[in-house]
Amino acid sequence: MASGFFALFDDIGALMDDVAAMSKITTKKTAGILGDDLAVNAEKASGFVSSREIPVLWAITKGSFLNKLIILPIAFLLSAFLPTGVTVILILGGVYLAYEGAEKIYEYFVPHHPKGEETSRLEQAELPKEEILAIEEDKIKSAILTDFILSVEIVIIALGTVVGRELLFQIIVVSIVAIIATVGVYGIVALIVRMDDLGYKLMKLNQDKKGFFYSIGNFLVMALPKIVKSLSVIGTIALLLVSGGIFVHNLEFMHHFLESIPSFIRDFIVGLAVGAVALVLMMGAKKVYGMVKG
């Protein structure tokens, strides 16, 4: 009895070692899309008044956890009983990401409102609370939807590294990666959006405006606007890269498309092309709907 009990512990220990090793490998394989996830969500979580940044980010984080709870069981079921369903979902998600990226580029060249209007309005103290909450709700919904699609890609890539292993092992490894993705990405996003507050606190430690902490604090305060400004560009590029990668890797006729150029350039071109088509179709559909409704 005792020997069987300790043998059970040995088996559990071996399983945990195996899970830890495979989780490390899987996390490395998903590192690229995790970086894209960070860029996209950091851009979406920025642009709020200081007092609302953490509540908004927490709402997005909770939505991200809920996304994982929805995606994981469906991914395991599809992987086991309908593998083609996984590919279909990935491609549909890729179309949405490409569309969102192309729309950002279109709005940059053909803006629907003056540049910087949204940020300046969010920073105005006299802005009605109802309007602030409405703007926040729209950005939160958009961020959670984008997170859902990126989460699908992360889960599928992670699942692909443990395919063929027993179901329990797949569940543990992929779940660990999903948790790391959420906690890691949104933890870093929180640090980014709170850089200025940390900077001001460090600057207050040196009232004479000199010293190490003042210099670090001033650097953080000065760097934040540049980081936030670059996040929109980085996020747009990330959307197109991720979507292009989905099409190239999951559509057989595109496996050899533009093989002679670097893969990241190819992914960007494919993502932009699909996004442009999706944008034109969506704009046409909206125009037709407006004419019918009018």
Average pLDDT over all residues of the chain: 75
Q: Find the mean pLDDT for residues 158-186.
A: 77
What whole-number percentage of the chain has pLDDT above 70? 72
Question: Distance between CA 257 and CA 107 in Å, rounded?
Answer: 29
pLDDT band, very low/low/confident/very high, at 276 (cuts 50, 70, 90):
very high
Check residues 163 and 218 and name the one with the higher pLDDT.
Answer: 218
From residue 292, give the alpha-carbon distance in Å to each of 168, 280, 284, 285.
53, 18, 12, 11
Question: Distance between CA 27 and CA 17 in Å, rounded?
Answer: 15
Q: Find the mean pLDDT for residues 189-212.
A: 76
Per-residue model confidence (pLDDT) at position 14:
47
Residue 76 Rama label (left phi>0; alpha psi -120 to 50; beta): alpha
pLDDT band, very low/low/confident/very high, at 255 (cuts 50, 70, 90):
confident
| Contact (Cβ atoms closer than 8 angstroms) between residue 194 and residue 54 | yes
Question: Distance between CA 256 and CA 101 in Å, rounded?
Answer: 24
Straight-line distance from the first to the last Cα atom of the chain, in angstroms, rounded to the nearest whole number: 79
Q: From the centroid of its chain, how far is CA 136?
A: 18
Q: Find the mean pLDDT for residues 276-292.
A: 90
Per-residue model confidence (pLDDT) at position 281:
94
Question: Distance between CA 28 and CA 34 in Å, rounded?
Answer: 10
Per-residue model confidence (pLDDT) at position 284:
92
Q: Find the mean pLDDT for residues 126-143.
A: 75
Per-residue model confidence (pLDDT) at position 181:
78
| Other Cβ atoms within 10 Å of 39 Cβ, number | 24
Q: Give 90-121 pLDDT, tens digit per residue.
A: 788 788 888 988 998 998 888 665 444 444 44
171 Cβ contact list (under 8 Å, min separation 6) = 72, 76
Per-residue burial over 190-215, b if 16 or more Cβ lie within 10 Å, else e, is bebbbbbeebeebbeebeeeeeeebe
Per-residue model confidence (pLDDT) at position 28:
52
Check residues 30 and 221 and name the one with the higher pLDDT.
Answer: 221
Handedness of CA 167, 169, 170, 172 (dihedral sign): positive
Q: Find the mean pLDDT for residues 284-290.
A: 87
Per-residue model confidence (pLDDT) at position 88:
81
